[in-house]
């Protein structure tokens, strides 16, 4: 599996693909909001049962809810540089990768 992921400039997508992407993103925003509320409520509900400096960690593989505890950490997404899809594909091809 390739490990050279890149961010896609979605303005380069076709109208149909762009519309489907927008639909997917809207659904994901709803999911992310519901997930954040659920996880915050779980943290609140079980706070007294978790050691200081720890928090619940959640897993959702195969549609099943799994939990564990681990160090409480602050999460921040690191911004990624954007590159056009065409430029990325051309660079991959120039480096001998098949697309």
Classify residue 32: in a domain, yes or no: yes
pTM: predicted TM-score of the whole model, two decimal places: 0.62
Classify residue 5: in a domain, yes or no: no
Total domain count, the chain? 1
Q: What pLDDT does 34 receive? A: 97
- Cα(54)–Cα(29) distance, integer angstroms: 27
Classify residue 35: in a domain, yes or no: yes
pLDDT tens track for 32-87 = 999 999 999 999 999 999 999 999 999 999 989 999 999 998 877 766 667 777 87
Classify residue 14: in a domain, yes or no: yes
Classify residue 99: in a domain, yes or no: no
Classify residue 2: in a domain, yes or no: no
Classify residue 3: in a domain, yes or no: no
Classify residue 4: in a domain, yes or no: no
Domain that holds residue 73: 10-94
Three-state secondary-structure class, residue 56: strand
Q: What pLDDT does 99 receive? A: 58
CA distances from 60 to 66, 92, 99 (A): 6, 33, 31
């Amino acid at each position: 599996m390739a490990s050279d992921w890149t961010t896609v400039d979605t303005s380069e997508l076709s109208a149909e693909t762009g519309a489907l992407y927008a639909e997917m993103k809207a659904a994901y925003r709803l999911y992310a909001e519901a997930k954040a509320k659920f996880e915050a409520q779980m943290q609140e509900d079980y706070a007294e049962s978790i050691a200081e400096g720890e928090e619940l960690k959640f897993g959702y593989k195969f549609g099943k809810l799994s939990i564990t505890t681990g160090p409480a950490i602050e999460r921040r997404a690191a911004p990624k540089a954007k590159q056009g899809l065409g430029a990325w594909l051309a660079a991959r091809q120039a480096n001998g990768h098949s697309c």
